[in-house]
Structure 1
């Protein structure tokens, strides 16, 4: 919920709807606070329970969600808060990613791509801060993390259960979202590296974004061919890639000087907004539904 709401807020800001972006950013911050409390309670649980939970890919939403919130805060110049989030993210990433990667086996769900999403969220926030604060030292560590995130993507891709494209409950869309955030990371890193942006990073950005578009179209066609209309919490993992692809396209269009790419990103934003609204209504209805006793 944090990741999906935050990236839609960022997309709305990029498209010029700052008032709507601000409202959704407030919602994102509130949801992040709930996530932080929940994560803190999990840390206080028993050692065995904590160890088991720490190896699940879903725990990496704590890193990615913080990154999206940090990127949103930077849009409104909350630099100190974003720096604090980056520090928290770095520690959480170091603690969680090795555990998650060690437990990845075969026939992985889409949530496994969070190893890439969480890594690239660090790159996006570090690169954005580097540019905004005119500090160059984060560029090289961010470049290393960018490469690592792409390696992790290929690692998960080789173990992904492709039946999820047809049968997945929502998180299978992270297959595309992980590439979209990788393209956004390239764009942010290219800007942070200086003007003019390094051409190899621009080419890599466009190549990754093209692959993300290909998965986006395939996944959309699969949804049309086999509609999955019942509510599932994993549908938030569908909204995030939709919003991330739109934001990545708008940003890449600016970095590469391709107005048509920015226009495509703005067009893709509205399916993401619509999906966010539908899933949010579903979440409220699901939370309000009476539970059977026992």
Structure 2
């Protein structure tokens, strides 16, 4: 019980990272690896969901204090990523349940975080966009699978709000984090990537045709190009100032790596353009490598903590 209560809110980024890698592996035709990643993401989500409920029931004051910080929004984003993967797996009922859960928690957490968001802010501030776009992606994915037009319109509204929230986080973001951040600075790119993914899902929807479809397609490409530019800047900063030690926030690096790959793959299909597919395939394996390195670091850190006296 104590372990569950101590689970850090940012641990949801591990579910996000694992879930989006599973999506990418599915899109590139690796069902066994994708299924294994999905099972792992699902198991981690269950543990964190129980921890979320336990803390809410036994430490309401601590839960409310935690909910004021951006990492709390990983609960929403992780739920949406897992739901998206379940939908692609053909489990529409389970995906719909996760959408309802995420949508129920999202407004309260979002308002709590926005009320306490200060300047300068770390990269985790962009989770206000990521969580909102997570809802857009899951709603749009379900809309495509179930042919529900109202879900497509809800996804469009969430996508537009997510873009606005990106601007809100950007004006508060401490640009010095690009060169010194411990991992969550990458969410600045990840938020653009999930925005591009949401837009690509909307572009693929039959709800919009003609000029509306062309506008969505153009917006998707703009968001993807901005994401790739941010990805390049952050990658160069990692080479210039290597930060090789393990930190929990490194899961917030893996998620944007995987999300950029998936956004590229999805944009290629929705916009009928070839080059993003090849790029996305390459970037996916970069994300897989990042996942393996981060998982190894997490394992070493856990074993080291258990060897310490009194643990």
TM-score, length-normalised on structure 2?
0.92
Q: From 98, 107, 112, give the equivalent of 1:99.
A: 112
C-alpha distance after superposition, 1:247-292 (max 9, x if no partner): 0000001111111111111111111000000000111111111224
1:204-255: CA deviation from partner (whole Å, max 9, x where unpaired): 0000111100010000000000100111011000000000000000000111
Q: Does 1:203 align with 2:218?
A: yes
Q: CA offsets, 1:47-96, max 9 Å, x none?
A: 43222111111111110000110111112101110000000000010221
The corresponding residue for 1:233 is: 248
Which residue is 2:142 aligned to?
A: 129
The within-5 A match list for 1:104-183 is 104-183=117-196
Residue 103 of structure 2 corresponds to 90
Is contact 1:139–1:193 with CA below 8 Å preserved after alignment?
no
Instruction: Give the 4+ runs in structure 1 shifted more than 4 A.
Output: none
Could you tell me which residue of structure 2 aligns to residue 273 of structure 1? Answer: 288
Give 1:195 shift: 7.0
Distance 1:115 1:209 in 2: 19
Distance change (3 Å), C-alpha of 1:195 and 1:18? farther
Distance 2:84 2:289 in 1: 22
Find out whether 1:65 has 2:82 as its counterpart. Answer: no
Deviating more after overlay: 284-293 vs 64-73: 284-293
Partners in 2 of 1:113 and 1:25 — Cα distance? 25
Q: Does 1:224 align with 2:239?
A: yes
User: 2-side partners of 1:47 and 1:39: how far apart?
Assistant: 11
Greater mean deviation of Cα atoms: 46-55 or 256-265:
46-55
- 8 Å contact from structure 1 (residues 110, 164) kept in 2: yes
Is the CA contact 1:186–1:201 (under 8 Å) kept in the aligned structure 2?
Answer: yes
Summarize deviations over 1:16-45 as a string: whole Å, max 9, x none: 111110110000000000110111112113
Q: Secondary structure at the match of 1:210?
A: helix
2:265 aligned with 1:250: yes
Mapped to 1, the partners of 2:24 and 2:60 lie a distance apart of: 40
CA distance in 1, matches of 2:249, 2:278: 29
Q: TM-score, normalised by structure 1?
A: 0.97
Q: Is the 8 A contact 1:117 1:181 kept in 2?
A: yes
The separation in 2 between residues aligned to 1:154 and 1:51, in whole angstroms, is: 26
The one of 275, 284, 291 aligned to 1:260: 275
Query: Unpaired runs of 5+ in structure 1?
Result: none
| Contact 1:128–1:192 (Cα < 8 Å) also in 2 | no
The count of aligned residue pairs is 294
**Cα shift at 1:193:** 4.1
User: Would you say 1:25 and 2:51 are equivalent positions?
Assistant: no
Mapped contact 1:166–1:222 kept (Cα < 8 A): yes
Tell me the secondary structure at the aligned position of residue 258 of structure 1: coil
Query: Displacement, 1:164?
Result: 0.6
Aligned-partner Cα distance in 2 for 1:37–1:268: 33
Between the aligned partners of 1:106 and 1:67, the Cα distance in structure 2 is 28
